[in-house]
Every structure is written in C-alpha cells, then in structure tokens.
Structure 1
Amino acid sequence: MTSDSDRLTPAARSLVDLMNSVFPDLGGAVTDAAEARRIIDALESGRPAQAVEVGSVEDRVVPGPEGAPGIPVRIYRPVPGETPWPRPTVVYFHGGGWVIGSVDSYDTSVRRLCRASGATVVSVGYRLAPEHRFPAAAQDAYAALCWAAASIGELGGDPEALVVAGDSAGGNLATVACLVARERGGPVPALQVLVYPGTGGGQETDSYRRNGSGYFMDVTALRWFWEQYMGPEGDAAHPWAAPLRAADLSGMPPAYVVTAGCDPLCDEGQAYALRLREAQVPVVERHFPGMFHGFFAFPDLLDEAREALAGVTEAIAEAGRDRKNICDQGGRAG
C-alpha cells in the first residue's frame, strides 16, 4: 500500500505491490531452498517471454575449482556485424541470495545485456546453497573468471576488455572474484559492474532498518539467504563473503556501482564504493532513490531500470574502447 512516507516512485510501488500479492513468501516466510526456488521460478514463468535477439546462445560446462564439478555456463554472442571485433567479454553472476536463480531464470536479462552492450556474455551457473555453502560460489566465480580469461580470443577477442558483472549476490561474487584474482595473481578485469551488491553481510545499517519491509525484498528473506549461504560454521567476516570487510582494496579493477534508495542493501553498496574510492580505485556510482532491490530486471516497465541498463551497457562498451577511460578517476555520477 502507498503511504505519505512511501519513497518508491508510483510505477515502482505498483510493481512491488503486484509482486507482493502474487509471491508474498519471498518477502517473509521462506523456509527451505526448494520453496524459494519454486517461488522465483513461478515469478519468471509468469512474466511475458521477451524475444531479445542475440547472435547465438551456447550451453557449455567449463572447469570448476580443483576437486569440484564443472561449472555450467551459457554463452551469449552479439548479432554478427553489429559489434566490431575485438569486443568486450562479460562474466555475469546472477542474483538470488546464493540460493536461488539460474542461467535459465536470467536468460532474458542477459540477452538484454548482450544486445545493448555488444559484448559476449558468459552467464555462470555457480553452485547454490545450502547444498553448497560458502565458499563454493566464490570459488566457482573465480574459476569461471579464469576460464573466460584463458578463452578470451574465442569469446571476445580483446584481453584488455574482460568485465565481471552481477546483481545482488551476483554483485558480491563479481567483486569477490576480483579479490581472489588479486590475492592469487589471477586475471585482472578491466571493469567490475556491481548492481545493488551485497558487500557487508551485516544487518545494522540504516538502509537495512529503513527498508526492511514493504519494498519486496524483506530483511527476513535476506537474513535467511545469508544463513543458507554461510551455514552454522561460516566465517561471516571473511572478505570472500563480505568484501566490505577486506583490509585493503587497492589494486582492484575500476567499478561501476548501481544502488537503489529503497533497498536494504543500499548502504553497504554505497559504503563499498566509498572504500574502493578511498583505495584510489576509479568508481562511478549511479543511485536511484525511488527504486527497490530487483528493479534492474524490469527495463520494460520502469524508466529508471532502462536508465540503469543503459548506463551499465555503456560502461561495458567503453571497456572495449579504452580501458584507461572506463571511469573518471574518483568520479561519481547520478
């Protein structure tokens, strides 16, 4: 219901109310992973099919971490002739609290990203919790990054234009992959694109309290996702789980960070952008005050989502044009 204190735009409020009426459990009483996946699959199947044309789509299994199974990926290539060769390559990690989501549920979103940016996009089906708890997803994310870097000639052709990207838990994995690469001397992406990322693992921020209910992604669900990922013995302060807690962020790739004003994770996304900037990492921030956690998936319904997608795809395209000018040093937009 809309109130005088509601900070969502009217279009966003209508969408949130609709989703809450159809899928109320995602905002509160999710009790197991199977039920959570059922809800998100129903949400996706209930949306109109989007025939976003790309050049080709290929499913493949790439090497996983040592001792782990291979990682399913879906490779989206742009329409031939629309993007000059060489082009950027994006390694994309889907959202879903490390518990739900898949390359299938993100098919339309990734097709949009491929078509608008002109990049080859590798959508990564990393292992999910609670069957595979931390650090399984982080390990898969780094392994997928390494595979993409080693296969760059086949995928995109420009070794200077490798990008990692993701939303929510996928934004967490995108930047964690960069942290692991820095630690192990692995491939360094030209850009990290983080859409309302989970970076702190904490629940004491002002946005967590202020946006805890009424904006679709309830903090009860967020806490539950975190518990499934970490388990009873997980180290919640480990930088691979909570990159905001890393002692040093210097040497990380330039970042493009999107946050939403009605998102419980807003403050930790902004705090991470600040930490990167303080470490002399070039950062562009785009903040959308009247949006909610998940808005990026609805460019067909929300002007702000279209604007956010345009900004992200332009940043990715720029990574292919000139690595040195992806972001203005210390710049902030929006």
Structure 2
Amino acid sequence: MSGRLSPAARGLCDAMAAVFPGPGDVAALRAAAVPGPPGPEVASVRDADAGGVPVRIYDPAPGAAGRPLAVYFHGGGWVMCGLDTHDALCRKLAAASGAVVVSADYRLAPEHPWPVATDDALTVLLWARAEAGTLGCDPGRVVLAGDSSGGNLAAVAALRAPGLAAGQLLAYPPLDASMGSGSVTTYGRDHFHTAAHMAWYWDQYGGDPAHPHVSPLRAGREALAALPRTLLVLADCDLLRDEGMAYARRLGEAGVDCEVRLHPGVFHGFLGLPLPAGRAALAGAAAWLAATP
C-alpha cells in the first residue's frame, strides 16, 4: 500500500525540504528547528521542574479535577527541538482535549545518548503520576504521548513502567532501528523526512537496535500485553508508516486495545502543520485523549 502526497502537502513538503539541513550537522539542524505560528491561548502555562527534568505545564481549566493528564515528548530525532518548538502543538492539544499537558524537555543526543532520554521520560511519568491530583487530574488517567522520536520515548516509557499509564498516543513514531520496512524504500526520499536523516538520528541516539527500549517493535508478547490502550496516528507517505502498522498488529495480537488512524496524502510531521489532515488528526487525537477512561 502506498499513496501520493496531496498537492497542498507536496508544496509544503518541498518548501520545507529546500531549507532543512541534511544530516550530519547538529548545530545546523538545531538552528533550523524554530517555532512555528503561536498556538491558542491556554488559561495557565507555566514551567516547572519534574524530578530534575524541565517541563512546561498547559492547564486549560485551572481548578478543575479528575481530568486526563498527557505527558508529552517532542519529536526531533532525539537531537533537536524542545519546549518552544512544540509549544503551539501542546497548546492545541490541551485546549481541544481539556486535559492538562505536561511537555518534557528531555536531554538530547549526541551529548546525552541512549538511555538518557528514556530515563528522563520515565522520571517525568513518575512525577506526573505523583503530582496528578495537585494538577487537577486523575492519576489513573495519565497518558503518554509524543510525535516522531517523542513517540518512541512514550512507547518506551510505557514498556518500562507497565500499569502506570492509562494510554499511549503515538504520532508517527520510529519503532525499529533496523529500518527494514518497505515504506523506508518507498518514502525514504523526496518526502521531507528522509531515510538518510533517520539513519543518522539513530546513530546519534545510540543503543542496541535489538533492545526493546530502543526499538519497541522488538518487545516480546508478554511486555506488549501489559501496555495500555493505544492510538497510533500515522502518515501514509512516511518512511515510518510500516513500522507503525506492524506495531499496531503486534499490539492487537497481544490483546491491547489499539486504534490506527492512517492519514492519506501527508508526510512525516504533518500533525503540527497547516494542512486539513493535520488539523483533523489533532482534533481526533484530542478527542481520544479526552475519552481516556
């Protein structure tokens, strides 16, 4: 199964690719990862410390109680981006879902290779569970969420702490460091996020590619069976598409409530982009988050 980018997505993809650095220069990539247009107003936005990891807390309704809490991990190949680059996306998610969103500023590779980011992710999850009541949330409704490499961190945190999260919301995550799926060949060039970039990101991140806390797709059935309800948001024209589909199949075989939303005509990273599919996907993800039991 493969598709083509929509005309709007193709134009945006080409414009972004024309100014985005190639793999190999950490400083240039970080300089290119700048925030987009601002997101909506949220009643309370504040920075805090979560067990030594900086976080930004988005609360759309201070004083409310019993709400879901989303622990969000930003994308960027584990080497770039941060709280500011994903500020608008987190604002939109909080405003649309009514949930508190805690965005984690985990340490980046290559200065801090695997498993540092996964340790930071687990630290923030444990902090969120402990502080959920204070934040007006139900500690039993904590959801792990993230896009791209942040989706990988969310999936790994769920594996490392079975039973602590009520859900995982994963947007086009890298799940297998071997990069052996068919969509890598189909969409590894000319679709903004290239196979060359992904391979370089994996190299900077490090870790054993066969380890399930590097490649969650390699996790055993017993570990997968302990995972919470899952939403996978995937782009059809993305080299990581088939990894996501394979993970969904494995979760389903292990008895996990897993839903896949495959969006046609768009490329990796579309969730935060000014495209109809991006707006629809974000609205759907927010509704799924709000419905966390």
Which TM class, normalised by the smaller chain length? over 0.9
Cα distance in 2 for residues equivalent to 1:35 and 1:195? 25
Q: Are residues 1:207 and 2:168 paired?
A: no
Partner of 2:254: 279
Q: Are residues 1:125 and 2:105 paired?
A: yes
Q: 1:252 aligns with which of 219, 224, 227?
A: 227
Letter paired with 1:36: L
CA deviations 1:279-334 (Å, max 9, x no partner) are 00001110012110010011xx2111111011100010001xxx2xxxxxxxxxxx
Partner of 2:193: 217
Over 2 Å off, 4+ runs: none
Letter paired with 2:81: G
* Ranges in structure 2 where 5+ consecutive residues have no aligned partner: none
Matches within 5 A, 1:155-234: 155-182=135-162, 188-230=164-206, 234=207
* Ranges in structure 1 where 5+ consecutive residues have no aligned partner: 64-69, 324-334
Contact 1:119 1:156 in 2 (8 A): no
Contact 2:44 2:62 in 1 (8 A): no
CA deviations 1:17-41 (Å, max 9, x no partner) are 1112232x2xxx3223212101113
TM-score computed with the length of structure 2 as normaliser: 0.95
Contact 2:100 2:137 in 1 (8 A): no
Q: Which one has a larger percent strand, Structure 1 or Structure 2?
A: 2
Partner of 1:332: none
Q: Report sequence identity in percent.
A: 48
Cα distance in 2 for residues equivalent to 1:204 and 1:238? 16
Partner of 1:40: 33
TM-score computed with the length of structure 1 as normaliser: 0.84
Distance 1:76 1:106, change over 3 A: same
Contact 2:234 2:261 in 1 (8 A): yes
Cα distance in 2 for residues equivalent to 1:159 and 1:30? 40
Q: 2:50 aligns with which of 55, 62, 67?
A: 62
The alignment of Structure 1 onto Structure 2 pairs a total of residues equal to 290
- The alignment's C-alpha RMSD in Å is 1.5
Letter paired with 1:71: V
Letter paired with 1:196: Y
Larger radius of gyration: 1
SS of the equivalent of 1:133 reads: coil
SS of the equivalent of 2:259 reads: strand
Letter paired with 2:164: V
Q: 1:113 aligns with which of 67, 80, 93?
A: 93
